[in-house]
Amino acid sequence: MYKIMVALLIGTAITANAAPPTAWTPIEDGKRIKVIAHRGEHLHHPENTLPAFQAAIDVGADYFELDVRTTSDGKFVIMHDDTLDRTTNGTGEVKQHTFDEIRSLDAGIKFSPAFAGTKVPTLDEAFDLAHGKINVYVDTKNADAQQLVDTIVRHDMQDHVVIYGNPFFLYEVHKIRPALRVMPEALSPDICKLLIRAIQPEVLAFDASDFKDPVINCAKDGNAKIYVDRLGDADNPETWQKAIDFGAAGIQTNLPGELVNYLRTHDLATH
């Protein structure tokens, strides 16, 4: 299905404009590796919450990653799952609840009593926290393209985001504001080539399944930066270094503090 969706984009490609480097990243020499905190610093803080995002800033990450969903009354909230059950004291699908219903929930108590009372954040709150301090990796689970673009621009974050999602959604974002950095999943050599022809992305996303020589080479041939997930068993110095050796420009990790320290030790950190 993903391949079909990507193929349908061919023939209507628009060239994306590159965004300038972030103001709080003093070194941009092509060798520095971006640290992406997966769902914020969520091993010691409730995932996808403001405390987790602040902790990612505190440890020196270059991005925090968040997941955007839409409430039944059209508001953006931050949550990975399509249901409320795992991370809050609520139940049911996010899209079936109003914003006020979701804001009444506790997004911290299941993680630890120390975080009791933590709210499900809005995208507005996440951008307010990030502005001038860190970039944001926006994983769009369920969002309207125009509404997302408007929110990004309203917070003056257009030069400080990458936007991940399905290719149709990303193409809509690209049409609305071509300079925004959309980041589709590379997936395979053929799909990578189609994506580069369709939207010429500045950056492509990789995970363990597609971080392989033929797909990596496609990204490099298309002048796309490589942001790769190193999560779970792959989240360690050996596989971080292998990713760097294979050309990764950014690494998404559950261990942002440890990765920052590793990069600083090897003179590869951005700051």
15 compared with 103, residue with greater pLDDT: 103
Residue-wise pLDDT for 207-249, tens only, equals: 999 999 999 999 999 999 999 999 999 999 999 999 999 999 9
For residue 25, the model assigns a pLDDT of 45
Copy the structure tokens of residue 54. Answer: 């602040």
First to last CA, the chain: 40
Over residues 3-15, mean pLDDT: 47
Q: How confident is the model at residue 61 (pLDDT cuts 50, 70, 90)?
A: very high
Sign of the Cα pseudo-torsion (99, 91, 65, 203, in order): negative
Chain-centroid distance of CA 161 in Å reads 8
Over residues 67-80, mean pLDDT: 98
**3-state DSSP call for residue 68?**
strand
**3-state DSSP call for residue 226?**
strand
Report the candidate in 80, 128, 134 with the shortest Cα–Cα distance to residue 107. 80
- Looking at the DSSP bridge assignments, the partners of residue 140 are 68
Q: How confident is the model at residue 130 (pLDDT cuts 50, 70, 90)?
A: very high
Alpha-carbon distance values, 82 to 60, 125, 232 (Å): 30, 20, 21
Over residues 78-103, mean pLDDT: 98
For residue 86, the model assigns a pLDDT of 98
Alpha-carbon distance values, 17 to 67, 163, 264 (Å): 24, 14, 30
Alpha carbon distance 23, 12 (integer Å)? 33
Flag whether pLDDT at 11 surpasses 50: no
Q: Is 38 a catalytic residue?
A: yes
Name the average pLDDT for the chain: 92
For residue 27, the model assigns a pLDDT of 64
**Phi/psi of residue 119, each to 5°?**
-95, 155
Residue-wise pLDDT for 242-256, tens only, equals: 999 999 999 999 999
Alpha carbon distance 202, 193 (integer Å)? 13
Residue-wise pLDDT for 186-209, tens only, equals: 999 999 999 999 999 999 999 999
Sign of the Cα pseudo-torsion (221, 224, 225, 230, in order): negative
Copy the structure tokens of residue 113. Answer: 């009593």
Which position among 42, 45, 80, 155 bears the catalytic label? 80
Copy the structure tokens of residue 73. Answer: 């009354």
Over residues 159-186, mean pLDDT: 97
CB contact at 8 A, 183 and 162: yes
DSSP 234: G
Alpha carbon distance 200, 77 (integer Å)? 29
Over residues 108-126, mean pLDDT: 98
- Strand segments (E) across 92-197: 135-140, 161-164, 181-182
Report the candidate in 64, 9, 17, 70 with the shortest Cα–Cα distance to residue 250. 64
For residue 30, the model assigns a pLDDT of 75
Residue-wise pLDDT for 144-167, tens only, equals: 999 999 999 999 999 999 999 999
Q: Is 174 a catalytic residue?
A: no
CB contact at 8 A, 45 and 119: no
Residue carrying the six token digits 């992406």: 36
Model pTM score: 0.91
- Looking at the DSSP bridge assignments, the partners of residue 246 are none
For residue 2, the model assigns a pLDDT of 53
- Structural domains in the chain plus CATH codes: 2-12+27-265 (3.20.20.190)
Flag whether pLDDT at 259 surpasses 90: yes
